Amino acid sequence: MKIERINLYQVSLPMKEGAYAWANQSFAAFDSTIVEIKTDEGVTGVGEICPLGPAYLPAYAEGARTGIVTMAPGLIGKDPTNIGAINLLMDQLLKGHPYVKSAIDVACYDILGKVAGRPVCDLLGGRVQDEVRLFKVVSRADPEAMAERITAYQEQGFNQFQMKVGENADVDIVRIHKVVDKLWEGNRLGADANCGWRQHDAVRVASAVADLSFYLEQPCETYEECRVVREHARQPMILDECMDSLQMVLRGHRERAMDAINLKISRMGGLTKSRVIRDVCASLGIIMTIEDTWCGEIGDAAIAHLAHATPRDLHFQSSTFHEYHTHAIAEGGPVIKDGFMSVSDRPGLGVTPDWDLLGAPIASVGAE
């Protein structure tokens, strides 16, 4: 089997609630890129990459599309089911920029699953969870509005949450108190600053909420700053944005810098490299949130398959981003029920893009 053509599609993902806000950023919609890989045997695969705006991580939508088009000519004629070789080749064609490679890697898994007649989770170690625990994001807003939202989300059946902070330390202290006050007994909450606090403010927040029960996530931009905050905080620490490689995960474990990590598939470069991180964390006993920067049903399917193949006691939680959008970009995405999600046993990712919605490719690379 050989890759015959790589098509790119662009789609905007508007927010149901009007905007999604965290730290000092807010967006009404996100720019997502869909990759379609066509083969000479008629089997196709799809993947998705959707950076959370251009200033969250060293990743942006136009960069993803430019990078994919840059690599695509070198991938034409290669076997997409030989995923290890595809990853080695991508690293030769484009140094760094792992997010650019993620959607191609996922699309190759979609093809391999279809060829093997197995869902992608079976290719990632096998389905060991029938359903995947979700967390619901309480987007940054006024403290009272955030308290009202978490109450509504709990009534919808969710029992794990991530509230967005990091904009203003003094207001964030109020936000955390008010949201924790509305948390039902037995439910779990994380306060995610998304790198938004300076170290001194993060230490001040940690002191002001020392008596409250929640998880503190990525308070500052750098690993070193977060390590200092951990020494002052009484809450368990989740590291996210600075956990960008296997080396950083091993360093964090060695230095006891965190209790959990947030494993984002595109930040690692796709499912192939995320599986390595997942397996190392499992061996070390590090619990994981498994998700991505943002996505629709296609990216959510990739998240769900990796999470389904992760033991429950090591899987902390995951996201389904498509539930925040006004429209679906594919059929067959994860099904959400009572705070959990699950994907079907259909081969590959199990999703069928809405080609009418996606329209014509914005770029197409193939053999002449």
Q: Which residues are designated catalytic?
A: 164, 264
- Any idea what DSSP says for residue 335? E
CA distance 195 to 202: 10
Q: Which two structure tokens, joined as six digits, stand for 187?
A: 């439910």
H or E element that contains 39: strand 29-39
Residue with tokens 């070198």: 74
Query: Which ranges constitute the DSSP H helices of the chain?
Result: 61-75, 83-93, 98-116, 120-123, 143-155, 169-181, 199-208, 223-232, 246-254, 265-268, 271-284, 297-308, 355-358
Question: Could you give the C-alpha distances from 58 to 69, 96, 117, 120, 302, in angstroms and in order?
Answer: 18, 11, 36, 28, 21
Burial label, 188 (beta-carbon count in 10 A; 0-12, 13-18, 19+): middle
Handedness of CA 200, 202, 208, 210 (dihedral sign): negative
CA distance 169 to 205: 6
Radius of gyration, CA atoms only, the chain? 20
CA distance 250 to 220: 19
CA distance 304 to 176: 29
